[in-house]
Structures are given as structure tokens and as C-alpha cells.
Structure 1
Amino acid sequence: MSEHPWLTIIGLGEDGPDGLSPASLAALEAAEIVMGPPRHLSLLPDLHGETRVWPVPFADGVAQLMALRGRRVAVLASGDPFWFGAGRVLARVLAPEEWRAFPGLSCFALAANRLGWALETTTCLGCHAAPLSRLRPHLHDGARLIVTLRDATGPEALAAYLDAQGFAESRLHVMEALGGPRERVTSWTAAELEEHAEAEFAAPLCVAVAVAGAGRAMPKAGGLSDDWFDHDGQITKRPVRALTLSTLAPRPMEHLWDIGGGSGSIAIEWLLTHPMTEATTVEIDPARAARITQNAARLGVDRLRVEQGDALEVIDRLAPPDAVFVGGGLSEALLQRLSERAKGARLVANAVTLESEMLLTQWQARLGGDLLRLALSEVTPLGRKRGWRSSYPIVQWSVTL
């Protein structure tokens, strides 16, 4: 990184320049142009350089910033720019030698220190530009969360969401303007906050949540109960899904193609394994594609990409996969296309019919890999007694293409 790059990203707290390091102050004084939200700019003293308000939407400001390349520019961000902040976006569009950053205290650090919570055991989530359903995988009695929210209406919406999930007893510490002269911390249960809808809060704010209640906790092992998913019967059932996910072996940074998504259960559980996984599901039926989108959003993985259409037409425009699951639409043409488009990927395909089982057997003879036959039975009433009812056996082929 250059000693004097043209762009400096400065993390500014609610105490304004009083909380800045000498290096941050020097960069601010030396800047020809200072860009930032109106609230941040209002915290600064008179500067030698020009000030410009960062526009909404945020992307418009990035375009304006790029037009200033070569001039000495300072961009103001909240707290730590690289913790749910603007830093990641700017670093992605700039060369390493073009920028430097001076972070301030993040609201997560300030909130944890106000409450005496250990950050390493507290989940920190940015919901100022994301749906509250991102919280769903983290909700269980005893959990501690710190959540950034978009505006002053956020605490009430958060309380309503927690109540709807069965966690109305959760304690919400609403923290406004942390670290500045306007700082205020108030505590409510989710139920109390819903009852006091007239309560007024001021941005910027975050909420620390001590989760409590008898709401349903999402298991961490692969193979969620089928009733977590809305479906029309087209779903990879829990025992088979658990084995399929184990065979797919999700890893951080990897991208899954889920072909014949059905309810989206495989792709959704793939994404639940790690926040840095990616997945695209392909579903030809428009109603099912819409249902997959709804399932993903409700279970906290709205980053799932859903492509509605025929897999043979869709996969040519998808980013390369690290793993592929074929749960529907299995055909000779599809396997041939995958062998060309997904080289190096781990493929798992499940077959139920004799025809599809024969197809997998033929391809296993050609490319190798493992064939596994699953025969599951469950206890059902048999007159006044009980007996085993067998499901259709499933043949699973797994191979690296």
C-alpha cells in the first residue's frame, strides 16, 4: 500500500473529531475533498477542503468517488468501516495502493463494553440494509446478539419479529448514538416494546438482544425437520437430505448448483453451514421457484440465487460451481452438460425411478465415483398393531467431475 494514497477512509464516531487519532486528523486536514453522510459532516469543524454529501443510494456515491481519482479525498464512515460498513465496498473497487483506512470504535465494541458482554461469544449482525430474517439461524434461548438497524423504527420491528418467532421474553437494549453526547440506552422486553409503539428513538442506533423464550431453535446439524420448509411434497426428505449434504461436503467460499430445487431445502441448508457459502438453485416450475425464494428469506439465507427455467438453458449463464446436486430433472443430456460445464466439481445425484437409477449406474461405470442405495422404513399403524412401511429406495451417485 502506498504511503500517501489518494483515498483515506476514516471511521468517525458520535464524538466527532475528539475520538480521531492524530493520523486520522492529519488525513482529514490534508484532504481536498471530504465525502460523507450529512450526520457525519455535521460533526466536523470547519475544514480547509471542500465537503460533499454522500448520495443515496450508496452506489451513486461510489461512482462520484471514482471520478475524483487522483485528488486527495477523505471518506467518512461509521465506526469501523470494515465491520458491516462502507470499507468492503470501496476496497473492492480500488487497487490496494489507492486507499488506506483509519478505523474508529465500532458500535459492536461500544455496545459490548456498555453491557459487559464478551464479543467472542456474541453474534454481531448488520440489518441496517438487510432483512430481520437474517437473525433466524441465531435465535435460541440464551443467545446474545448485537444488531445494527436502519432507522428509528427498527427497534419496534425487531421486537415484533422476535415475538413472532416465539421470543417475546427477549431483553432488548436499545442503544442510540453510542459514544457521543446524545448517547442513550434503554432496556425493554420485546413484548414491552411492542406495547409501547409510541416510544421514540433516534438514529444511529443498534440493539443488543439477550434472546429468551420458548421459540423454536434451528438445529446446527444438517438435515432440518421437513416442517421448516414450505413445500408441495417435492422435497428431499430429512434423512436423505442429511446424507446428501454430508456427501456434498460444503466448505466456506464454495458455490453450489442445486438443480431441480423443489423446496430449496438442499441449497438453503448448504448456505446455513457457513456465511461465506454461495448457492444457486434452478427450478423449472415458477410456483416452486417463488416458494424457494420465500423459504430462503424466512430461514435467514436471502442470499440464495433462484433461477427459474430449464436447467439445460440456465446453467450456461451461471458462475462455475464447486459442487452440484441434482434432485430433479435428471437426464442423459443434463449429465452430459454438467460433465462439460462443471469440471472439477463434486456431483451428487439422487435417483428414485428405475430409469434414472439405470442412468446413474451407466455414468458411474464411465466416470467412477460411489453408488449408494438407501432403503428407509418408518413405523406406521397396521390395524391395532404397528409395522414397517418402506419408502421408495434411492440410489445416490457421487463423483468429482
Structure 2
Amino acid sequence: MIAWLHIVGVGEGGVGELPAPTRLLVSFAETVIGPARFLAGVDPVAASHPHPELASPELVQKANLEAVARALLDEAGDDAPTRDAGDGRTLIEWQPPLENMIDQVLALRGSPTVVLATGDPIWFGIGATLARKLDPEEFVIHPHASAFQLAAARLHWPLQHVATISLHGRPAEAIHPHILPGNRILALTSDATTAHHVAEMLVARGYGQSLMTALENLGGPDERITGTAAEFFNAEAIGDFYVLGVDCVADLSAPLLPPVAGLPDAAFVSDGQLTKRDVRAATIARLAPFPGALLWDVGAGCGSVAVEWMRAARDAEAIAFEREGERLQMIAVNVAALGVPALRIENGDAPRSFAGMPAPDAIFLGGGVADEALFEACWEALKPGGRLVANAVTLDGEAALYARHARLGGELVRIDVGVLDQVGAHRVLRPRLPVTQWAVVKPEQWLALER
């Protein structure tokens, strides 16, 4: 298959500064899609191309322009600004939200199309999104130096030691897991308010001395770099197009909240009913988070297990199932404070609230452990090869776990934790309620075995 789509990274210099071979790709396309500031630099192609030997089917496959036009009329909608480049090409300006932008591209499937994107399209860009929608042989990516690369070069930060994140169109709270002593962060941003929110969070976390740097219009004639401590940062002094750099400096009193499982219990807002720190660390270890995996936290309480799961692995996802109204509010507070805004909260009685939910890679059963109908619904929903972990503190719960272990196997452990206390003038280790923990992997051939 010949690629019909070329995704071209563009710098602040615009289309005119692209390498000659890449400019040829733009000239051969029937449709060019991108932001208005890039489309303004697309000049008409002369009737007699200076390099006719390059205009071959191997470089880009031509398609029927009338069919492309019909697709544009059907899919792009009346609100999509389009114009003729003066040489038969159609120029289309991006129309947010992202779903509309994807539809604009997919409507042109099979016709020679170029997408103009900022910097490196595959690094938090449109290329990364389209890569999930298209077969690899359908498109080619032509990267430009990314905003992260330019920012790291200006700051003299070795990029391999920098956390690179996107807060563009995302809650600024997503920066929380990266706020650690000595850590350096480069973040894409939405507008000046992103830096304002980040500064407020740094001060609140005890990182007010951290150096915040706004790197505006990188690579362009209006490039400007300004920086100051978070506690003095003035977002009104910067524009809306910048990369934010944060060099984290912690106060002596700043709490340490690393992505490793086992955050202090005090890091969570709760009513006391939460999986305690030591047991939670063991629980997350047996749930075994991995990139992109989905957890169901059933009977989530304050959401501590779901929150730690998402912090433990890149792009990990979680759904917290909880029916108590006050606890739902606690989950929402903890989600924002600990930097996992994508955590999904589902209100309702399980297992009825499972209806329509995506199949999980792992399930934590923290409430209703003795409920056999609830367990069966969880086991049925779990993907083959997925993990289920259940914690019990009651005799009924323990009995249910013993029976399931006898039937399905897995690991069964007792976790006893003692905490320092005082009895008169003497110090003692007072035991907490012991926790019986069962961890099991659903056989990959479970469906076949059931039949």
C-alpha cells in the first residue's frame, strides 16, 4: 500500500522553512490540513513543477478530486474553513475539538493528504492520535524538532532526565505525580492559566522555591524566555503559546509523594475506611500495574488503590465503583490532589454498575468480599490472564476467600501490621486488624474450560 497521508512537523518558521523534499510532499497533496498560521504559508504551486521527475505515484498517490470534495462536504461540515490554494489543492483549517479534527482526516482516507502539525507530531501530537486510528502503512510522519527538544536545549537540561508531559487541554493537576525533589519537568500548556495553576500547586505542595520558566514562541523571531520562583511567578506577564519548565525544589517540610505504591495515609482524604499504607503497597504489588492497563476498584472507598494504580504505570486507567455519596466526593478530592484526573468514578450498586464498562485487566475487591454474586460478576468481567486481588478483615470475608482459593488457586497470605503506641510509660507495637489477601490470575483458557 502507498501511504496516502503525510503528517509533517512544522516549526515557528512555517512551511517555507521545511526541507525541499518535504515541501514537495505539501505541493503534491490534494488536501492540506492544519492550523491557520501554517496554512497561510502554503504558496500556490507553479503549473510546471520544477522537479517533474519527483511527481510519481511512488511519492504520493493521486485520487479523484471530485470524490475528495464530496467527502469534505459530507464530513467536514459547514463550519470548517476551507479555501482553494489556487492550484487545485484544498486547504482546510483545523476545527476543534479533537474528535472533529480526526473526522476531518478520516473523511479523506485514500486521497493524497498532508497534515501540518506543530513540532514532532508523534510526541503528544496529532500523529500519536492518528496512529491509533490508521494502519502503519497508510501514513508517514516527518518530524520537526519538538518543543521539548528546543526547550531542553535552551535550558541546557539533558532531555533523558526530564519528565515530559502534556497539560494542553488537560487538567493542570496531572503534574502532581512529577513534583518530586530535584525533578525537572517540561510541560505543554493550554494558555497562561496553566502556568498560574501550576504555580499555585507548587506553593501548596511546599515547592514554592521551584524555578518556573516560560519558553515562549520557541524557534521564532518572537522567542522569549522568562523565569522565576513559583511563589513569585506572574502568569499575567506571559502569552498563551509557551512550554513550561519546572525545576523542582522542595521545602524541608514538603511531603514526599513518589509514584511508588504506599503513599502515607494522610495523603488521602478519607473517613478512616481506607486500605492502609502497608497493606495498600502489598495490594498494588500483587495487582501489578503496567502501561495502559485498566483497573476496576470495586467498593473503592476513598479511591486510594485506584489512585495509586494510576500513579504506578504510564497511561494506566482505573474505574472506581462506589455508592456512598460522601466517599464519592472524597475520591474526587483525592483524584485532583494526587494528579490522576483521568480516573473514572462510577456511582451505584455493584454489580449493576458494571453494565457497559470496558473489561478490566485487574480488579481490586475491597468491599463486599463475602458477596458471592459480586465476586462472580467480577470474575466474569475480568479479562483472561487478568489479576484479581481481594482483602478481607472479617471472618465471613476470610471464609469466602478460603473457599475461592480452594476452587481457583492463587496466593493466600495473612498481613499483620503493628504500629507504635503507648501503654502507660511503655512503648508497644499495637496490632491492627489482620488482613487476609487473596490474589489470583484468571486462566487464559478460562472460557474454554468453562465450556
Note whether the superposition's TM-score is higher than 0.5: yes
Matches of 1:247 and 1:69, distance apart in 2: 44
Alignment of 1:312-331 (within 5 A): 312-330=351-369, 331=371
Please say if residues 290 and 314 of structure 2, whose CA atoms lie closer than 8 Å, have aligned partners that are also in contact.
no
Please say if residues 17 and 43 of structure 1, whose CA atoms lie closer than 8 Å, have aligned partners that are also in contact.
yes
2:60 corresponds in structure 1 to none
Change (3 A) 1:150 1:312: same
Change (3 A) 1:259 1:32: same
1:52 aligns with 2:96: no
**CA displacement, residues 203-258 of structure 1 (integer Å, 9 cap, x when unaligned):** 42112221223133313432110011111112000111111112222223322221
Alignment of 1:248-263 (within 5 A): 248-263=287-302
Give the aligned residue type for 1:174.
Answer: A
Matches of 2:403 and 2:111, distance apart in 1: 64
After the TM superposition, which of the residue ranges 349-358 and 59-68 deviates more from structure 2?
59-68
After the TM superposition, which of the residue ranges 8-17 and 92-101 deviates more from structure 2?
92-101
1:19 corresponds in structure 2 to 17
1:351 corresponds in structure 2 to 392
TM-aligned CA deviation for residue 115 of structure 1: 1.7
Matches of 2:268 and 2:41, distance apart in 1: 48
1:384 aligns with 2:425: yes
2:40 corresponds in structure 1 to 42
1:367 corresponds in structure 2 to 408
2:146 corresponds in structure 1 to 106
Matches of 1:13 and 1:135, distance apart in 2: 26
Task: Give the TM-score, by structure 2 length.
Answer: 0.83
1:395 aligns with 2:436: yes
Q: Deviating runs (4+, > 4 A) in structure 1?
A: none
TM-aligned CA deviation for residue 43 of structure 1: 4.1
2:79 corresponds in structure 1 to none
Give the aligned residue type for 1:206.
Answer: V
Matches of 1:60 and 1:367, distance apart in 2: 47
Matches of 1:367 and 1:266, distance apart in 2: 24
2:8 corresponds in structure 1 to 10
Of 241, 245, 254, 1:204 maps to: 241
Instruction: For structure 2, list consecutive stretches of 5 or more residues without a partner in the other structure.
Output: 45-84, 443-451
Matches of 2:342 and 2:246, distance apart in 1: 24
Please say if residues 316 and 341 of structure 1, whose CA atoms lie closer than 8 Å, have aligned partners that are also in contact.
no
1:271 corresponds in structure 2 to 310
Please say if residues 416 and 432 of structure 2, whose CA atoms lie closer than 8 Å, have aligned partners that are also in contact.
yes
TM-aligned CA deviation for residue 182 of structure 1: 1.4
Please say if residues 15 and 38 of structure 2, whose CA atoms lie closer than 8 Å, have aligned partners that are also in contact.
no
After the TM superposition, which of the residue ranges 371-380 and 254-263 deviates more from structure 2?
371-380
1:335 corresponds in structure 2 to 375
Matches of 2:395 and 2:123, distance apart in 1: 52
Give the aligned residue type for 2:327.
Answer: R
Please say if residues 257 and 280 of structure 1, whose CA atoms lie closer than 8 Å, have aligned partners that are also in contact.
yes
2:281 corresponds in structure 1 to 242
Change (3 A) 1:223 1:30: same
1:139 corresponds in structure 2 to 179
Give the aligned residue type for 1:32.
Answer: E
TM-aligned CA deviation for residue 173 of structure 1: 2.0
Give the aligned residue type for 2:12.
Answer: E
1:79 aligns with 2:119: yes
Please say if residues 11 and 119 of structure 2, whose CA atoms lie closer than 8 Å, have aligned partners that are also in contact.
yes
TM-aligned CA deviation for residue 316 of structure 1: 4.2
Alignment of 1:61-100 (within 5 A): 61-100=101-140
2:226 corresponds in structure 1 to 186
Helix, strand or coil at the partner of 1:399:
strand
Matches of 1:376 and 1:216, distance apart in 2: 23
After the TM superposition, which of the residue ranges 45-54 and 258-267 deviates more from structure 2?
45-54
1:306 corresponds in structure 2 to 345
2:324 corresponds in structure 1 to 285
Matches of 2:174 and 2:13, distance apart in 1: 30
**CA displacement, residues 314-361 of structure 1 (integer Å, 9 cap, x when unaligned):** 234322222221110121112222333324322211111111111111
Give the aligned residue type for 2:388.
Answer: L
Please say if residues 177 and 203 of structure 1, whose CA atoms lie closer than 8 Å, have aligned partners that are also in contact.
no
- Report how many aligned residue pairs link the two structures: 396
Matches of 2:98 and 2:435, distance apart in 1: 49
2:211 corresponds in structure 1 to 171
TM-aligned CA deviation for residue 79 of structure 1: 0.3
TM-aligned CA deviation for residue 88 of structure 1: 1.8
Please say if residues 177 and 202 of structure 1, whose CA atoms lie closer than 8 Å, have aligned partners that are also in contact.
no
TM-aligned CA deviation for residue 117 of structure 1: 1.0
1:229 corresponds in structure 2 to 268
TM-aligned CA deviation for residue 198 of structure 1: 4.1
Helix, strand or coil at the partner of 2:192:
coil
Give the aligned residue type for 1:357.
Answer: E
Matches of 1:351 and 1:96, distance apart in 2: 47
**CA displacement, residues 122-171 of structure 1 (integer Å, 9 cap, x when unaligned):** 11111111112111111123211111111234333332232222222111
After the TM superposition, which of the residue ranges 175-184 and 309-318 deviates more from structure 2?
309-318
Give % identity. 40
Matches of 2:246 and 2:388, distance apart in 1: 41
Matches of 2:193 and 2:397, distance apart in 1: 53
Of 161, 164, 171, 1:121 maps to: 161
Larger-Rg structure: 2
Matches of 1:18 and 1:166, distance apart in 2: 46
Change (3 A) 1:220 1:339: closer
Instruction: For structure 1, list consecutive stretches of 5 or more residues without a partner in the other structure.
Output: none
Please say if residues 167 and 212 of structure 1, whose CA atoms lie closer than 8 Å, have aligned partners that are also in contact.
yes
After the TM superposition, which of the residue ranges 154-163 and 7-16 deviates more from structure 2?
154-163
Please say if residues 296 and 302 of structure 1, whose CA atoms lie closer than 8 Å, have aligned partners that are also in contact.
yes
